[in-house]
Amino acid sequence: MTDFAPLRRALLSVSDKTGLVEFATALAEQGVQLLSTGGTARALRDAGLEVRDVSDVTGFPEMMDGRVKTLHPVVHGGLLALRDNDEHVAAMQAHDIGAIDLVVVNLYPFEETVAKGAPYDEVIENIDIGGPAMIRSAAKNHGFVTVVVDVQDYATVLQEMDKNDGQTGYALRQRLAQVAYARTAAYDTAVSTWMANAVGEPPRRRSFGGTLAQSLRYGENPHQEAAFYTDGSARPGVATAIQHQGKELSYNNINDTDAAFELVSEFAGHGPTCAIIKHANPCGVATGETLAQAYTRAFDCDRTSAFGGIIALNQPLDADTAREITGIFTEVVIAPEASDEARAIFAAKKNLRLLTTNGLADPKALALSVKQVSGGFLVQDKDVGQIKADDLTVVTKRQPSAQELADMLFAWTVAKHVKSNAIIYVKDGATVGVGAGQMSRVDSTRIAARKAQDMAAVMGLPTPLTQGSVVASDAFFPFADGLITAAEAGATALIQPGGSMRDDEVIAAADLAGLAMVFTGMRHFRH
């Protein structure tokens, strides 16, 4: 092996033909012979380039609807042969195998086919076989062979050839080999994940793949390296959003923006709704007659925490709402769309990022949640559980009013997106106190109530808004103390999963306090 390897013959077979003609033309101008197949060959010939069919080289026609075309010893021998190994060279001469110095392959659009909801048979036909095989052969032999799997690397290869008289250096070939193996790994991950869903049982081996979207300055803290990867799904959210202004999102921005948008997406079709997030927890969620009113009501839940937060909207951002939002420092605003006037208002705030998603995420869509632990990782279904009024069981003597019932369902929806232990006070379609992440449910109840007291003082209210509110708890009350604390804060009704050994004790305490309480039969732990 030498550091520099000449490119005399290239095999091109691509699904994504972006930049193909320009790249192939530049190769031909440097004297590189072009081999190709199928649609790639046609595209090159239509551009006036001289192309030799792989079938002419192998002596076999493309067959079985194109399933078999490059799976041949002449192709893989040309890729795998060590050019400085006498036995390999002798085998090439004996079997008329010509060296292939460059492989340009991007794979059948499997991920895209799955994302559009194609039927089973169509997905199967979009599993590439020959492509990954050639990529792996070329990458293994990167001592001599250059492999390109991404359009973005075309220019790099050409620049390398220009600098080195039609040759590529080992460092580039090694880097491109790593890119190639990462691509086939991600591709196989997509296939195996889809097959696991089709089979309907936990796979024996599980992998995850993604494509680098951006390098990040650092992770949660400056001493942690980080990057953001996309998984190829078309789900509306931070990964697929268009950023209209502001500097690049940080690790924490991305994490919090995702939390905000996933929460507000729960309220598709529920009228104007706003969620304000800080450290992945909501510090205010509210509906309103207008989007501006929804924002103001969400802001009033915890004005202190809202400073420097993330705002998510379930409707297009309008000018009135934009003006309200610019009243304080905000990191990110994400919405399905934004009016031209709203964008103009935001343009004056250079550090404010605006993202639009062209729709809301489907809160019922199945997905996986992954958490790394030492020595492995935990995989579970994403929590897409939802409760309707008909699913509730009233367990107290007092029945909830219609308004209490509506507020309880609102609070229960928010609770799913609050770190456990979670307690949420809601009044008239707005959170008025949020307690998150405490080791004791009683402490979460007290913290949420205390935040409401603080806001009452700031807003000049005679009593906290928890007076006459409802309370949601993400898991059951193990003792009556949490319920009693909520009642002391002014709550009149509670929604919780039930299922505690002391349910009877908790129900009795609710009856004694004159509260209405319903059980959902579902909990929303969020760790």
Residue 75 has a pLDDT of: 81
Task: List the catalytic residues.
Answer: 140, 279
Summarised one tens digit per residue, pLDDT across range 387-443 is 999 999 999 999 999 999 999 999 999 999 999 999 999 999 999 999 999 999 999
**pLDDT over 90 (residue 383):** yes
Residue 64 has a pLDDT of: 65
Residue 1 has a pLDDT of: 54
Summarised one tens digit per residue, pLDDT across range 136-175 is 999 999 999 999 999 999 999 999 999 999 999 999 999 9
Q: Whole-prediction pTM value?
A: 0.85
**pLDDT over 90 (residue 200):** no
Summarised one tens digit per residue, pLDDT across range 460-485 is 999 999 999 999 999 999 999 999 99
**Per residue in 479-517, is it b (16+ CB within 10 Å) or e — as a string?**
ebebbbbbbebbbbbbbbbbebeebeebbebbeebebbb
Sheet holding 493-496, edge to edge: 393-394, 516-519, 493-496, 470-473, 423-426, 431-435
Summarised one tens digit per residue, pLDDT across range 307-317 is 999 999 999 99
Residue 227 has a pLDDT of: 96
Cα atoms found within 13 Å of the Cα of residue 226, Cβ hemisphere only:
17
Summarised one tens digit per residue, pLDDT across range 492-514 is 999 999 999 999 999 999 999 99
What the chain holds in terms of domains, given with CATH numbers, is 4-199 (3.40.50.1380), 236-356 (3.40.140.20), 388-519 (3.40.140.20)
Which pair of structure tokens corresponds to residue 252?
């924490």
